[in-house]
Structure 1
Amino acid sequence: MTGSGPFEIPDHIPVTSTSQRLVLNRRGSTVWDVETSAGRVAIKLGYPSQTHAWTALAPAREGAILQELGSSAVTYGEWDHGTWNVQPWHEGTDLQELWTSHRTRGGLADPPVRDALACARALAELHDKGLAHGDVQPAHLILDAEPTRATLIDLALARGVQVPEPFDFPYRGCLVHYESPEISRRVLEDGEAVPTREADVYALGATLFMAATGWRHVEYPDDASRPEQRRAIVNGTHRLVNVTGMLGALINDMLRYHADDRPTTHEVCKTLEQAAA
């Protein structure tokens, strides 16, 4: 165990900062927002967490995926406690924060359809490139206001391109609040699973529901263990989708229990485009 961080940026990472700000330190990841003479970048440092060793490899795995997707500005490598990557900073606000003023618990949420459409388009673009994200959640969707567009970040768990063997690791699920029943079932049975586009659609539905209402899509105690959370997803039904209009109906379709019953990302986009017109 290397400790809980946050960790300073190692000297050998090829970035000369003019200023830096700690953004995040949790679950085996320290993230810095760094200003350089060439622009603003994010620097991610991975290290073993209290529950997972793979978090140390996640930044390099993400860096390799981003390079395969054509991001020439991304670099990655190893440091004393794990791996790192440097990537362009994405301006904007994450979906959970952006919808704070629209969110209501127990009432009828009515968030902007254009934001949901931007998120769906970002996921559809990734799917069109042959990848499944594997970790769709509100914090991983960054939205710009003008024009409304979304960037899907944190691709460390994605599948669909070759990753160098030293930095690869099995997929053992994601933040359980957004897991589909089939992913939760496989993790409970086998300890690992394979991300799919259908599971991403389910996760996007759970993401929109969480951002709009503040509730997890499946009910379980806040202190429930991860196996208990997954069993609730596998055995239970999701909460009533109390989001108004077409968006609520669409979220309900995205949260269908069986993968084949869910719409594709392009079908989700088409429905949202019609509503936004």
Structure 2
Amino acid sequence: MHIAPLSPHDPTELGGYELLGRIGHGGMGQVYLGESPGGEPAAVKVIKPSVVDSDTRLRFAQEVEILKTIWGARIAALLDADPEADQPWLATEYIEGLDLSRHVASHGPLPSLLAASLGATLAEGLATVHKQGLLHRDLKPANVLLGPNGPKIIDFGLAVFAESSVSLTAPNTVVGTPSCMPPEQANGEKPLTPAVDVYALGAVLLFAASGHLPYQAANIHVLFHQVTDPETSPDLSGAPDELVPLLTSMLAHQAQDRPALDDVVQQCRAVIEAQGFKVAQARRRLTSHTATPTPILDDLLPMTGAPTVPMAPTGMPDDGAASAVPSGDPGTESTLVLPPGGPEPTPTLIDHPVPDPEPRGAAGQAVATGPEPAAEPIPAPSATPAPGPPVKGRSRRSRHSVQARITAQRLREVYAAGATF
């Protein structure tokens, strides 16, 4: 994830969170990387002063209340918020990694095995949201973060309660991302149903597997026409053949023709198992392929005066205390800061396809088989040097040192002008 230094005009603290840099922005707000007094990283979303009015506050307060309601392993959790502050803000769990849009732009589309794993994971996450009586309404590649513990869904700013015809949207206006928006949402129909998120998930999976969305146009009016025209089919070019039937049904023009999320999970499982893998194996491969842990927090402010500790011959601190050691599994947390990419995971038998011990013919009898075809190649994480041994007493940075503050101020002044947002 790209982090730009704070500008001289940015706040340095909100609600007790120290702000370290910019990680995103939109028409209404700015998102900062923050840190709690106890060192917990957070994504701190702030409404821009230029757009703070009663309607904005009401919508922001609704987002906060919805985030309080939502729970689930695939949802970025709410940490704290104050919609009544002079600058309304909320803090959510920080997921260190690229969003799906940037990952595909940098590394290309996902192989079908990994795209199916992503589909099963996100469908299960959305089903949890729907069970709580909510709709996301704005699922898109940029709202799927690929973290070290798997993908997570973010940004519930447009979320609404299902079966509700009440909206904060002004009459005759449509909010959302047109390229991932189902026809009924683009037409402004109320109330919306869970099928809107099924359609958006289909658009996300198409993008993950092919690198493009179902409809594309330079003109927003042309794009809306494509989305709402029942005679214009979504562009599924480049999608793997084994995913085309599922994508076709998820992107159906009529909401009632789309599958339920439980069916999406089962069809994704079928694609995974047809390639000789178990679902859990595919999930691990997806995380290994997409997770990009980097010592971002340490780069923002340098460590000063870090003490050294005599090391025992084993490479561990010579104090008799146990220290955390990285496991090599990108889904496992460690107290050590790893170099970019992390260590190469050690291959295990569980990460290989599970062959049928006795292939059967159509009538159930055993059949002779030739050489087993190779499984679809999955890019492995790039190898990096192993991290050095942990050092006792080494803090990630000196929070309150004068030198750190001076360095931070220089970063803001020197690089703010060249920041991308």
TM-score by structure 1 length? Answer: 0.77
Residues 27 and 56 (structure 1), Cα distance of their counterparts in 2 relative to 1, 3 Å cut? farther
Provide the rounded CA distance (Å) in 1 between the counterparts of 2:83 and 2:65: 10
Q: Please give the residue correspondences for 1:198-209 in structure 2 after superposition, counting only pairs within 5 Å.
A: 198-209=195-206
Q: Could you tell me whether the CA contact under 8 Å between 2:64 and 2:90 is conserved in 1?
A: yes
Matched residues, percent identical? 23
Q: Is the contact between residue 47 and residue 57 of structure 1 (CA under 8 Å) also seen in structure 2?
A: no
Contact preservation (8 Å) 1:10, 1:79:
no
Aligned residue in 2 for 1:78: 84
Q: Could you tell me how far 1:240 is from its partner in structure 2?
A: 3.0
Q: Partner residue of 2:96?
A: 91
Structure 2 counterpart of 1:182, from 178, 184, 189: 184
Alignment CA distance shift 1:219-1:230 (3 Å): same
User: Deviation at 1:245?
Assistant: 3.3
| 1:93 Cα deviation from its structure 2 partner | 2.9
1:28-60 CA-to-partner distances (Å, cap 9, x unmatched) read: 12000112332011111123889x996665543
Q: Secondary structure at the match of 1:61?
A: helix
CA distance, structure 1, for counterparts of residue 139 and residue 267 of structure 2: 20
Instruction: Note if contact 1:255-1:262 (Cα within 8 Å) is conserved in structure 2.
Output: yes
Aligned in 2, Cα 1:55/1:98: closer, same or farther, shift over 3 Å?
farther
Question: Could you tell me how far apart the structure 2 residues matched to 1:230 and 1:56 are?
Answer: 29
Q: Is the 8 A contact 1:96 1:139 kept in 2?
A: yes
Q: 5+ residue gaps in structure 2?
A: 1-5, 72-76, 273-277, 279-421
Aligned to 2:256: 260
What is the aligned partner in structure 2 of residue 136 from structure 1? 139
Does the aligned pair in 2 maintain the 1:184–1:234 contact within 8 Å?
yes
Q: Is the 8 A contact 2:70 2:129 kept in 1?
A: no
Q: For residues 197 and 48 of structure 1, what CA distance do their matches in structure 2 show? A: 34
Q: What whole-Å deviation, never above 9, does each CA across 1:165-208 have from its counterpart, x for those lacking one? A: 9xx72283301111101111227xxxxx5443101110111112
Partner Cα distance (1:10, 1:61) in 2? 26
Counting only pairs closer than 5 Å after superposition, residues 99-138 of structure 1 correspond to structure 2 as: 99=104, 100-103=106-109, 110=112, 112=114, 113-138=116-141
- The answer as to whether partners of 1:122 and 1:150 remain within 8 angstroms in 2 is no
Aligned partners of 1:48 and 1:56 also within 8 Å = no
Partner of 1:86, secondary structure, is strand
The letter for the 1-side match of 2:259 is P
Partner of 1:159: 160
For residues 78-105 of structure 1, give each alpha carbon's deviation from its aligned partner in whole angstroms, at most 9, with x where no partner exists. 344x63212221233322233443429x
Cα deviation digits, residues 191-234 of structure 1 (max 9, x gap): xx5443101110111112123323231132x2x13x43212211
Q: 1:58 to 1:142 in 2, by over 3 A?
A: farther
What is the identity, as a one-letter code, of the residue corresponding to 1:33?
L
Counterparts of 1:36-47 in structure 2, within 5 Å, are 36-38=36-38, 39-47=40-48
Cα distance change of structure 1 residues 53 and 136 upon mapping to structure 2, 3 Å threshold: farther
Asked if 1:231 corresponds to 2:225, the answer is yes
Q: Are 1:22 and 1:32, in contact at CA under 8 Å, matched by a contact in 2?
A: yes
Equivalent position amino acid for 2:159 in 1: A
Per residue, is there more helix in 1 or in 2? 1
**Greater Rg over alpha carbons, structure:** 2
Question: Could you state the TM-score of these two structures normalised by the residue count of structure 2?
Answer: 0.53
Q: What is the deviation of 1:72?
A: 6.6
Tell me, which stretches of 5 or more residues in structure 1 are unaligned?
188-192
35 and 179 in structure 1: CA distance in 2 versus 1, 3 angstrom threshold:
same
State the distance in 1 between where 2:136 and 2:31 align. 20
Partner of 1:21: 21
Aligned length: 250
Aligned twin of 1:9: 11
- Whether the 8 Å contact between 1:102 and 1:111 is mirrored in structure 2 is no
In 2, Cα distance between the equivalents of 1:275 and 1:79? 49
Counterparts in 2 of 1:173 and 1:49: CA distance versus 1, 3 Å? farther
